[in-house]
Amino acid sequence: MYHHVKKLMFTVRVDEPDPRFGNMLLEQFGGANGELAAAMQYSIQGLNCEDPDRKDLLMDIGTEELSHLEIVGTLARMHLQPTKFDRQAAEADPLIAIAGGGGVNLFNSQGNAWTADYLKITGELDVDLRSNIAAEARAKIVYERLINFCDDAGTKDALQFLMTREITHMKAFALALESMSKPAFSIGRIAPTPGLVDQFFNGSTGTGEHGEIDTRGPWNEGNGWVFTESPAIQAEPGASTEIVTESSPPAEQAGLSDLLIDELRDILHAEKQLTKALPKMAEAARFDQLRELFEQHLVETENQVERINECFELLGKTARAKPCRGMMGLVEEGQEIMAEGEEKEAAAADLALIGAAQRVEHYEISAYTTAKNLAQQLRHSAVVTLLSKSLAEEENSDQLLNQVARSLMSVAKMPAAIEQAE
């Protein structure tokens, strides 16, 4: 919750109001790098943050930025006050004087309305912290320029206070980022393309009369950099260094290809087991809706077996199954549930059968997800397409089982409700 204390974080004093300077101050009130943008950015990042320590940091600084907004707003209002009654001062900015009555509003110094487009919120904590460091740096520069254009001593004191707090926040965000112990260039979860990530394109060339000379430094030489002619020059015959492209075959990544094949062989055996188990489950089902669902999924499973075989063909490997002990255990458990169901009421028996089926579905969803992710990393796009289709079918089957289960639970409640009514 928020509680407003009727006291400024820094007491402001304006000796000589300057409406034109008041207009400049609005840049830090409703501008892209202003205090409202900072307050909203950090607070919303904090609301989204699941790291309790850094959430506290974001909420603390976001709240302080609201206090800074109050300081800037008070300063701007005091400088703009002459526009309320002085024609010449009002002419300096009719938007403020006529439309706004000489007060502040959520506009920048150019009269552009504040917008949430100013906010940089990605939901990735390390990326957001880097954005915050940059935001504080930009705000620091704006305050510095305001100080340089200000002649009023009291105003300068307030701006100096605000500018200093920007550095404080930069330090806090930088140390929070450092405390995460995350490598500087480890952004997100998908690794960059090897080779391409270390190529520096010499995209602006020229010597002598043709322009400035090319320079070299730690940004394009040493430390693994490969200095490469620009893509435009690469198109010409005799290019010295080939560009590594996204579509180029990836280097083998620590046995990932073997792991993908192993996963596919495991799935193949799992699906073949299900082609035998599903007819028995359909026969055991008491309710037509569940029986039809099992029969429908049997057809899907047979198609999934064909897709796995097609994946092997695309990868140039033999479609050989590997014993899937996980599915063997689930199928055995399903057989026990079917046997026990013979002694149960119809709804209860089918609900138990659905539970066994959903355990199978979740197992398959995990298997297909793993295989699809491996295929994506290895850039086997055709294999990814096939696996994605089967994965979508498994997820849909799980949802359909949920729907049938809800219907059966209503049926199971009815006898108890009738008995209670009697």
Domain ranges of the chain: 19-179, 256-421
Tens digits of per-residue pLDDT, 49-79? Answer: 989 999 999 999 999 999 999 999 999 999 9
Distance CA 14, CA 312 (A): 77
Q: What is the mean pLDDT of the chain?
A: 88
Give per-residue burial for 377-394: e unless 16+ CB within 10 Å, then b: bbebeebbebbeebbebb
Q: Specify the pLDDT at position 419.
A: 45
Q: Specify the pLDDT at position 207.
A: 65
343 token code pair: 């002694």
243 token code pair: 């560009």
- Beta bridge partners, 199, equal 226
Distance CA 307, CA 8 (A): 68
Q: Specify the pLDDT at position 231.
A: 76
Q: Specify the pLDDT at position 223.
A: 86
Tens digits of per-residue pLDDT, 84-135? Answer: 888 877 777 777 777 777 778 888 888 889 999 999 999 999 999 999 999 9
- Beta bridge partners, 228, equal 201
- Do the Cβ atoms of 354 and 290 come closer than 8 Å? yes
What's the whole-number mean pLDDT along residues 185-189? 79
Q: Specify the pLDDT at position 412.
A: 64
What's the whole-number mean pLDDT along residues 247-272? 80
Distance CA 261, CA 148 (A): 66
Q: Is the pLDDT of residue 247 over 60?
A: no
Q: Specify the pLDDT at position 337.
A: 93
Percentage of the chain with pLDDT > 70? 91
Tens digits of per-residue pLDDT, 120-174? Answer: 999 999 999 999 999 999 999 999 999 999 999 999 999 999 999 999 999 999 9
Chain center to CA of 136: 22
Binned at pLDDT 50, 70 and 90, residue 272 comes out as: very high
Residue 197 is classified by DSSP as: G
CATH of domain 19-179: 1.20.1260.10
Distance CA 34, CA 46 (A): 18
Q: Specify the pLDDT at position 328.
A: 94
388 token code pair: 């994605």
Binned at pLDDT 50, 70 and 90, residue 418 comes out as: very low
Binned at pLDDT 50, 70 and 90, residue 417 comes out as: very low
Q: Specify the pLDDT at position 422.
A: 45
**Lowest-confidence range among 232-236, 345-349, 353-357, 418-422?**
418-422
199 token code pair: 């190529």
On whether the pTM is more than 0.85, the answer is no
Cβ burial, residue 196 (10 Å; 0-12/13-18/19+): middle
**Lowest-confidence range among 232-241, 376-385, 391-400, 407-416?**
232-241
CA angle centred on 225, ends 222 and 231, rounded to 5°:
140
Would 19-179 and 256-421 be classified into the same CATH topology?
A: yes
CATH of domain 256-421: 1.20.1260.10
Residues ≥6 apart with Cβ < 8 Å to 40: 62, 116, 119
Q: Specify the pLDDT at position 183.
A: 80
- Do the Cβ atoms of 111 and 95 come closer than 8 Å? yes
Q: Which residue has the higher pLDDT, 5 or 411?
A: 5
What's the whole-number mean pLDDT along residues 18-44? 94
Q: Is the pLDDT of residue 266 over 60?
A: yes
* Helix (H/G/I), strand (E/B), else coil: 227: strand
Q: Specify the pLDDT at position 173.
A: 96
What's the whole-number mean pLDDT along residues 212-240? 76
Binned at pLDDT 50, 70 and 90, residue 198 comes out as: confident
